[in-house]
Amino acid sequence: MNLNLLTLAAAAVSNTQTNLLPETAVVKLDPGLLGKFEEATGLPREVALWIVSGLIALAILVIGYLGAGIARNMVRRLMAKRHIDETIGDFAGNLAHAAVMTFVVITALGQLGIDTKTFAAVIAAAGLAIGLALQGGLSNFASGFLIIVFRPFRKGDTVTAAGIEGVVEEVQVFSTSLHTADNKKIIVPNSSIMGGVIINYTANPTRRIDLQMSVGAGQDLAKAHEALLRLTRADSRVLENPAIEVVNVKLIDGGTLIELHAWCKTGDFGGISSALVAKAPAAFAEAGIRGPDKSVIFVERK
């Protein structure tokens, strides 16, 4: 019985010239088969119409949602095949998904008999309120577009954006996903990113390590310099060019603050910095260099 009802409901859909639904309906219904569906269900014609059209609208939404996902993946694959940056590919794919879903929703509303032109007119009439409500969303969309155009960072870069440090996972239409060192996923509005300072730690292939140490008053600064140079040169990951250097920064209470400058590949920055901080006190002790009463070690934070 149920199978027969479904068959009649499906058969009621055809491309005849008779339209039992409003003109906005995309799929037309055959009146003869619809009558049989009414008889089989015992429902009034108006109710039967809405049931069938509702099922069609639901089918449009489901198929459209699947189609939007396919469109997004196709755009991403096309971008990847053309060797276009993955960040741009993800953004374009999400944009294609949003465009298809917008069309699908409008089509489904039309199938239900909702006049989308009137719907748009209502939105236009309430433009001020809607504009205020969507102001943040439009700003985020525009900022996302600017991120794609000017590319201050790419997928996989380590950045500080909107005061948050993490690895860029994805630039979406309205927001950007960052993965932090403590395994958190943070969604940052694009407008917050473009409205503030962006620090990209991995934009360049090399970085400079700045290590500061304090030397006690009366100590031989030349020996302190040499101890740091010897320690740094022992690490094969440190680049020879630009040359390693140690400079005197300023006088401090009870001594002098000196600073080591050493260059390395960006990927080695964290490991080398950590190793130097761990080994520098022992290198000073071996050279007979004492610090002030309260020795201080500074290293640039990642």
Predicted confidence band of residue 49 (pLDDT cuts 50, 70, 90): confident
Lowest mean pLDDT among 15-24, 152-161, 176-185, 205-214: 15-24
Q: Are residues 68 and 163 in the same domain?
A: no
- Whole-angstrom CA distances from 170 to 85, 238, 249, 300 are 12, 32, 41, 27
What six digits make up the tokens of 109? 């509303």
Q: Are residues 158 and 229 in the same domain?
A: no
Hey, what amino acid is at 227? A
Q: Are residues 90 and 25 in the same domain?
A: yes
In a domain, 125, yes or no: no
Q: Which residues contact 198 (CB under 8 A, 6 or more apart)?
A: 152, 153, 159, 160, 161
Which CATH number fits the domain that encloses residue 176? 2.30.30.60
CA distance 285 to 290: 7
Position with higher pLDDT, 295 vs 234: 234
pLDDT tens for each residue of 87-127: 777 888 888 888 888 888 888 887 777 766 665 565 566 55
pLDDT tens for each residue of 196-253: 999 999 999 999 999 999 999 999 999 999 999 999 999 999 999 999 999 999 999 8
Residue with tokens 């310099």, as numbered in its chain: 225
Q: What is the pLDDT of residue 258?
A: 96
pLDDT tens for each residue of 21-48: 555 555 666 666 666 666 666 677 677 6
CA distance 291 to 279: 15
Q: Is the dihedral of CA 115, 116, 119, 125 positive or negative?
A: negative
In a domain, 264, yes or no: yes
User: Is the Cβ–Cβ distance between 37 and 52 less than 8 Å?
Assistant: yes
Which CATH number fits the domain that encloses residue 281? 3.30.70.100
Q: Are residues 191 and 210 in the same domain?
A: no
Q: What is the pLDDT of residue 190?
A: 94
CA distance 69 to 104: 12
In a domain, 71, yes or no: yes
Report the percent of the chain where pLDDT is more than 70.
75
Lowest mean pLDDT among 42-46, 61-65, 188-192, 290-294: 42-46
Q: Are residues 182 and 231 in the same domain?
A: no
For residue 167, the enclosing domain spans 150-200
The domain tally of the chain equals 3
- Whole-angstrom CA distances from 187 to 42, 76, 95, 171, 200 are 52, 21, 18, 10, 17
Q: What is the pLDDT of residue 76?
A: 84
Q: What is the pLDDT of residue 5?
A: 44
Q: Are residues 194 and 213 in the same domain?
A: no
Position with higher pLDDT, 255 vs 122: 255
Q: Are residues 15 and 93 in the same domain?
A: yes
In a domain, 134, yes or no: no
The pLDDT mean for the chain works out to 82
pTM of the model as a whole: 0.59
CA distance 138 to 186: 20
Q: Which residues contact 92 (CB under 8 A, 6 or more apart)?
A: 75, 76, 79
Q: How many helices (H) and strands (E) does the chain have?
A: 9, 9
Residue 208 CA from chain centroid, whole number? 28
Q: Are residues 157 and 195 in the same domain?
A: yes
- Measured N-to-C along each axis, helices 45-81 and 2-11 cross at an angle, to the nearest 10 degrees, of 70
Q: Which residues contact 163 (CB under 8 A, 6 or more apart)?
A: 196
Which CATH number fits the domain that encloses residue 6? 1.10.287.1260
CA distance 156 to 173: 18
In a domain, 122, yes or no: no
SS3 content of the chain, % helix, strand, coil (to 5): 50, 20, 30
Lowest mean pLDDT among 73-87, 175-189, 220-234, 254-268: 73-87
Q: What is the pLDDT of residue 6?
A: 43
Q: Are residues 230 and 263 in the same domain?
A: yes
